[in-house]
Structure 1
Amino acid sequence: MLDAILLGLIEGLTEFLPISSTGHLLIAEHWLGRRSDLFNVIVQAGAILAVTLVYRERLRELATGWNKPELRDYSIKLFVAFLVTAVLGLLAKKLGAELPETTRPIAAALIVGGLIIFIVEGWAKRQPIRDLVTWKLAFAVGAAQVIAGSFPGTSRSAAAIFVAMLAGLTNRKLAAEFAFMVGIPTMFAASAYELLKLAMHGQLQSEAWGELAAGFAVAAVTGFVAVKWLLRYVAGHSFILFAWYRIALGAVLLILLG
């Protein structure tokens, strides 16, 4: 139960920060012991619920504001980004793409991702602040989520945020909002797909449901806190802090791995 709570805490804190929740879970499970696929799906669902609650008013506004051109345009671009992710994600599954479960690739991806953050932030500082979500941005964010999902340690939220910034959305808070809003249907769909697959293979009966519930609840609460904090933080700061964290963690992992 304590392991389940700890993993739920890690998932909630890292799912929407640009530091890779999948990478952190795989690292933690390397020492705590591998959990079932169902457990990982359930704790991820807790984090998705958290960001849905954070953006509940924005989601309600988009759902009821189709008569307003700017809201309708934003909603359509969100849907296009989700559609690109879904189509490319299913294609990747059909081609047999699987996440590696060893720690060394995660360490390398953490370091490379940190260096990319430095590059993107250096570029963004020389650009004017832009708030426009373009079609190019929607397609790019959709594709970025699939690419990141194939490499643990990359971070889906990081890929979506920084691709959005490179595509012209240099307002960091709005870039994070678009990335998170695309992530809501994407991750709900991915979790539902994995649950259906596990159910069809009869892998739902032997689970410790108390541990699943604890991991889900902790991920939801900590995810809510993490997203609220991140949105306040990036309103006045860059993402450089996360670049240093990624590089430091990746270096420590490589040292531990010898």
Structure 2
Amino acid sequence: MKIEKYNQRLLAVLGTVGVIFLIVALIAFISITIMEHRRYDDDVETGILSDEKIEELQKENKREQVISYENPRLIDTINSVYIIPVSHKTLNEQEDISGLLNLNKSSSSYKPSDTRYSRQYYGAFNNLIVYNPKNGMNKKLFDKRVNFNLIKTEYFEDDILLLMNVSEKDTYKDGVINLKDFKSLYVYSLTKKELKKVGIEGMDVFNFKFLNNEKNLTIQFGVDKNKDGQFEEYNEPTLIKRFDFNSGKLTDIIDEKISSELQKTLEGTKK
């Protein structure tokens, strides 16, 4: 009898401990999920201020964001060419534009790799500098206010291309220029020292991919069906085009007749 009571109490204690453990684990999971979601939102929101916000600040001779330099990345080992991404920081308090920036970057122990292949760098950028320490050359790629989070380097036998998916306008009208806004693809040739823009007005460059052994690209454009200034990949469609690197022309890959037939088949109007 005593043994049965002991077993019952033991089971009750173990059951209580198990329930407490499950509750704690559930709370921890929910907390981590919320933190990850907030961190993602913060990453998306780290864009540059919209033109309207900038105009308001300039009227008061104020600024809210300052430039910040990333460590150099070696992209051309033979010619010793680096890129220096330019990011930005949002200040806790606005400051006078006439104030000093005090931007002194300490030296880095960064050791570049000489690996030759496609590479990607992630961050919150508003410009990019191409730097050659041999001749002291440094060239900024953009003369206007932009925002991007990815720098992709693609290696060819005769060239190295830098690719950036860039937002230029606050199309979503939320006060910042960031990844929620429409993006265009910019391609910079290290050999030709030329920057090309690829985009369609009112559409978003959603994805791109090089054709096999070519500099030509296939590009997915997001269609803003509800006209809210943002492409929503889960319920808005994409179309695909081919970009000819040499001519700079965009052409349809799927002809209009096939697209029409596919749509009619989907919606059931073609029997």
Same fold (TM over 0.5): no
Which category describes the TM-score, using the shorter chain as reference length?
under 0.3
Structure number with the higher strand fraction is 2
Q: TM-score, normalising length from structure 1?
A: 0.22
Q: TM-score, normalising length from structure 2?
A: 0.21
Higher relative contact order (CA 8 A, sep 6+): 1
